[in-house]
Structures are given as structure tokens and as C-alpha cells.
Structure 1
Amino acid sequence: MGAKPPFRFTGRHMAIIMVAFFGVVIAVNVYMASLATSTFSGVVVKNAYDASQEFNVWLDEAAKEKALGWSAKVERRADGRVAVTLKGSDAAAIPSDAALSGEAWHPLGQEADRVVSFRRQADGSFVSFDALPAGRWRLRLRLDGADANGRHVWRAQEFL
């Protein structure tokens, strides 16, 4: 029996390694890009520079809203209408004259954006006039109300 010839690394071996390596890289990139486009539910701005100039203003508004201590519990009722129960911290009850409004957007524009109007109920909660179609919705709420400390605007984003 003859001795086995030593292994020789050839151009064919290098070509197989290169094709396998870049094949894996491309497959992973395609998979990640498809996940990103199918699950993205963020907000796209028309001009990122202009939006960045407003960032500090948004932070200041958010700090004021957080200091109010208000929170919301949002749920979809069986009839498709949206019910919102608002709570204030011990020191900051929800003003009795508060008005709630909102906008609903569907991720990736699968449904048209909608303005959501609310009616205050006897128990202090709010219920939308119209039903939202089934599916996942991002709801941006705005509560305007005044108390002894002046007029306040509170915003929240919820998912349904």
C-alpha cells in the first residue's frame, strides 16, 4: 500500500470557502432585513435634521408631563371602541374639565391613520365615539385639562 499524498490547499478549496462565507453573510442580511421591514412600527420623519432641532423641546415637554403623575389604562372593548381610564397621583388628580383626544396609526400604514374622539363617562373614564378595526394600533393620546396650578397638556402612546 502506498502512502497517502499530503493535503494540498488549492484554488478550488479557497473558492468553496469564499462562496460559503459570503453565502452565509448574504443569507443573514436578507433574513434580518426582512424581519426589520415586516415588524417596524416606528415613526419616520420627513427631515431628520429638523426633527433633531426639536428634540430638547420634546424632552422638556416629556419631563413636565411625567411630573404631573398621570397615567392611562387603554383597552379595546368588545364593540371595537377604545376605553381609556386615567389616573392621577395622589397630588395630581385628573381635572374634571379634562378633554381627551387621540390619533391612531397602524404600523407600516396597513390601515389609514384615524383621529379618535372620546366622550367622558359618568365614572370619569373616556370611550371613543367610533370603533377601531381589528389589528394592532398605536394610539397617541392627548389630555388637555386645568387645575389649580394652571392648564396642562399630557400625552401618552399606547398599543392596542
Structure 2
Amino acid sequence: MSKSSDEVKKFTGYHATIIIVSFFAVVITVNMIMARFALSTFSGTVVDNSYVASQKYNEWLKQARDQKAYGWTISPALRKSGKASIAITTKDGLPLNDMSMTAVAEHPIGQSDPFELNFVQAETGEYHSTRTLPEGRWKLKIIITQGDKSMRVVRDIW
């Protein structure tokens, strides 16, 4: 007796096992890939302690309003000759003079320790770091001070 082409194959426990194992293998593989992407692109914590941050929120809003009132414009951070370069202008578009600027350079995912950068003004009005910035992506937490005015900004540099 030969099997006809119309005969339906039986669904057995073996088939069910293959389907279930394949399903979970796909789910686990996708989860592992997504976890890898999440960990490799995570830029760190926004705040170390959310309760303390919530207590300082109104103070930060006041600082932001004060900084906006200064009318200073801070350019994106650029890499020139291996050093960080930032231009700061006044409301009138003129270079901001007679100020000091420092920054803490942090690797976004903590692959190296943070370090401090000091800046000096160049003839063009731009400010250049006094030390070379290692290759790669860095987050600069910048503090600009002119007299009693102070501004904090964060800039990424590649």
C-alpha cells in the first residue's frame, strides 16, 4: 500500500518541540542583540540621585533663566589639531572676552577616567584646550565664568 499525495502528515510531539525550541531561540537571540546595543550605546546616568535632583530643580531653572539672559552663544565643540575648540559670542555676535573656561571631559560610557581641561583664548576669539583630547567621543561639561556671571553647558565632541 502506497501513500497518496493527499494524505496529511501527523503533527507529533517532535514537531511541537522543534517549534517551541525555535521560538525561544529566536526570542533569546533578539533579546541578547538588543541588550548588547543598549549597553554599548548607553551614555551614562543623567543624575546620580533623582531625589537630590528633584530638590535642586527650581534652582536649576533659575540658573537656566539667568544663563539665557546673558545672551551668550556657545558653538558646538570641535576638534582642531587634537584639542577642543569652542567659540563663545555675546548678544552682539562679538567674541566673549575676559572670562575663564574649564571643562571636565568624560567618556560617555566610562571607558576612561574623567579629566579636567583648561581653555585659553586664541586670536580668532575661539577658546582652545591647553591639553590634547584623546581620540573618540567625549562629553565636555563646561563652566564659563565672567565676573559674577557663570554658565554651565554640556557639549559632545568626536
TM-score for the superposition, normalised by structure 2? 0.79
Q: CA–CA distance in 2 between the matches of 1:50 and 1:42?
A: 18
Choose the corresponding residue for 2:67, options 65, 68, 81.
65
> Which residue of structure 2 lines up, in the alignment, with residue 77 of structure 1?
80
- Give how far 1:89 is off: 2.8
Contact 1:82–1:132 (8 Å) recurs in 2: yes
Could you list the per-position Cα deviations for residues 10-59 of structure 1 after superposition, in whole angstroms to 9, with x for gaps in the alignment?
33332222212211111111001111112222336443333343344334
Identity %: 36
> Which residue of structure 1 lines up, in the alignment, with residue 150 of structure 2?
153
Q: State the number of aligned residues.
A: 154
Question: CA 1:83/1:22 → structure 2, altered by over 3 Å: closer, same or farther?
Answer: same
Contact 1:70–1:94 (8 Å) recurs in 2: no
> Which residue of structure 1 lines up, in the alignment, with residue 130 of structure 2?
129
User: Which SS does the other structure have where 1:41 is aligned?
Assistant: coil
1:153 partner letter:
S
- Give how far 1:96 is off: 3.3
Question: CA 1:14/1:156 → structure 2, altered by over 3 Å: closer, same or farther?
Answer: same
1:2-151 correspondence to structure 2 within 5 Å: 2-3=3-4, 4-43=6-45, 45-73=47-75, 74-78=77-81, 80-90=82-92, 96-146=97-147, 151=148
Could you list the per-position Cα deviations for residues 77-111 of structure 1 after superposition, in whole angstroms to 9, with x for gaps in the alignment?
21x22222112333x86653322111101122222
